[in-house]
Amino acid sequence: MNTLRLGLRTLRREWRLPELRTLAAALLLAVAALGAVATLAARVEAALLASAAELIGGDAGISDNRPLPPAVAAEAQRLALTVNRSSTFPSVAFNGTLSQLLDVRATDASYPLRGTLRLADAAGRIIDGRGPAAGTVDLDHRALVALDLTVGDRVQIGGRELTIGAEIVREPDGGELFAIAPRALMSLADAEAAGLLGTGSRVQHRLLVAGSAASVDEFVVWLKAHRPPDAELITPERTQQRLRIAFDRAGAFLRLSALLSALLAGVAIALSAQRYARRKTDEIALLRALGAPRGQVRALVLVTLLGMALPALLLGALLALGLSSAAWTLARGLLPGTAGGLPLLPALAAAIAGLALLLGFALPPLARLAEVAPVAVFRRGARQRVRALDALYLLPVLVAVGLAWFESGSFRLAGILAASLAGVAVIAALLATLLLALIRRLAPGAHPALRLGLAALARRRALSLIQATALALGLTALLLLAVIAPALLDRWRAELPADTPNWFALNIQDDQRMPVTTALDRLGARKLNRLPLAVGKLASINGVPVASVHFRDRATRDWAEQQLRLSWSAVLPPANTLVAGRWFTADPAQPQASVEQGWAQRFGVKLGDTLGFRIGEDTYTARVTSLRKVDWTSFRVNFFLLLDPAHARALPHSWLASWYLPPGNAPALAAFNRSYGNLSLIDVNALLDRVRDIIVRVTAAVRWVLGFSLLAGALVLAAALASSAAERRREAALLRTLGASSAQLRAAAAAEFALLGLIAGLTAALGAAATGAWIAASVMDLPDFVPPLPTLGLAALAAALGVMLLGLAGTRRVLATSPLALLRRG
Binding site for other proteins (CB under 8 A): 379-382, 444, 448, 451-452, 455, 459-461, 463, 727, 730-731, 734-744, 818-820, 822-826
Of 636 and 736, the one with the shorter C-beta distance to other proteins is: 736
Q: How many CA atoms lie within 13 A of 259 on its CB side?
A: 27
Of 92 and 823, the one with the shorter C-beta distance to other proteins is: 823
* Cβ-count burial 160-186 (b if 16+ within 10 Å, e if not): bebebbbbbbbbbbbbeeebebbbbbb
Of 196 and 458, the one with the shorter C-beta distance to other proteins is: 458
Q: What are phi and psi of 466, to 5 degrees?
A: -60, -45
Of 249 and 451, the one with the shorter C-beta distance to other proteins is: 451
SS3 391: helix
Q: How far is the CB of 735 from other proteins (least distance, A)?
A: 7
Q: How far is the CB of 379 from other proteins (least distance, A)?
A: 7
Of 150 and 818, the one with the shorter C-beta distance to other proteins is: 818
Q: How far is the CB of 736 from other proteins (least distance, A)?
A: 6
Of 72 and 720, the one with the shorter C-beta distance to other proteins is: 720
Answer whether 796's CB lies under 8 Å from 765's CB.
yes
Of 249 and 736, the one with the shorter C-beta distance to other proteins is: 736
Closest CA to 748 of 736, 760, 759: 736
Q: What are phi and psi of 391, to 5 degrees?
A: -60, -25
Answer whether 700's CB lies under 8 Å from 37's CB.
no
Of 355 and 735, the one with the shorter C-beta distance to other proteins is: 735
Which region, left, alpha or beta, applies to residue 543 given φ > 0 means left and ψ of -120 to 50 means alpha? left
Of 665 and 744, the one with the shorter C-beta distance to other proteins is: 744
Q: How far is the CB of 272 from other proteins (least distance, A)?
A: 20
Of 650 and 738, the one with the shorter C-beta distance to other proteins is: 738
- State the DSSP H helix or E strand holding residue 238, giving kind and residue range, or none if neither: helix 236-239
Q: How far is the CB of 739 from other proteins (least distance, A)?
A: 3
Of 544 and 816, the one with the shorter C-beta distance to other proteins is: 816
493: Cβ contacts below 8 Å, ≥ 6 apart: 692, 695
Of 279 and 461, the one with the shorter C-beta distance to other proteins is: 461
d(CA 649, CA 566): 11
- Cis omega (within 30 of 0) for bond into 574: no
d(CA 417, CA 420): 5
Q: How far is the CB of 460 from other proteins (least distance, A)?
A: 5
Q: How far is the CB of 382 from other proteins (least distance, A)?
A: 8
d(CA 595, CA 546): 17
Answer whether 115's CB lies under 8 Å from 172's CB.
yes
Question: Which residues on adjacent β-strands are paired with residue 187?
Answer: 107
Q: How far is the CB of 414 from other proteins (least distance, A)?
A: 38
Answer whether 338's CB lies under 8 Å from 41's CB.
no
Answer whether 472's CB lies under 8 Å from 803's CB.
no
d(CA 367, CA 301): 8
Q: How far is the CB of 449 from other proteins (least distance, A)?
A: 8
Of 296 and 737, the one with the shorter C-beta distance to other proteins is: 737
Answer whether 308's CB lies under 8 Å from 13's CB.
no
Q: How far is the CB of 820 from other proteins (least distance, A)?
A: 5
Three-point CA angle 785, 790, 792, nearest 5°: 75
Query: Where would I find the beta strands (DSSP E) of 2-135?
Result: 60-64, 82-95, 98-107, 117-120, 126-129
Q: How far is the CB of 824 from other proteins (least distance, A)?
A: 6
Q: How far is the CB of 375 from other proteins (least distance, A)?
A: 12
d(CA 625, CA 607): 6
Of 614 and 746, the one with the shorter C-beta distance to other proteins is: 746
Of 163 and 744, the one with the shorter C-beta distance to other proteins is: 744
> Angle at which helices 725-737 and 742-778 pack, to 10 degrees?
160
Report how far Cα 485 is from the mean position of its chain's Cα atoms. Answer: 11
Q: What are phi and psi of 64, to 5 degrees?
A: -155, 155
d(CA 365, CA 277): 6
SS3 674: helix
Q: How far is the CB of 718 from other proteins (least distance, A)?
A: 22
Q: How far is the CB of 749 from other proteins (least distance, A)?
A: 14
- State the DSSP H helix or E strand holding residue 274, giving kind and residue range, or none if neither: helix 241-289
d(CA 108, CA 115): 16
d(CA 459, CA 476): 26
Q: Are strands 98-107 and 183-187 parallel, antiparallel or unpaired?
A: parallel
Q: How far is the CB of 456 from other proteins (least distance, A)?
A: 8
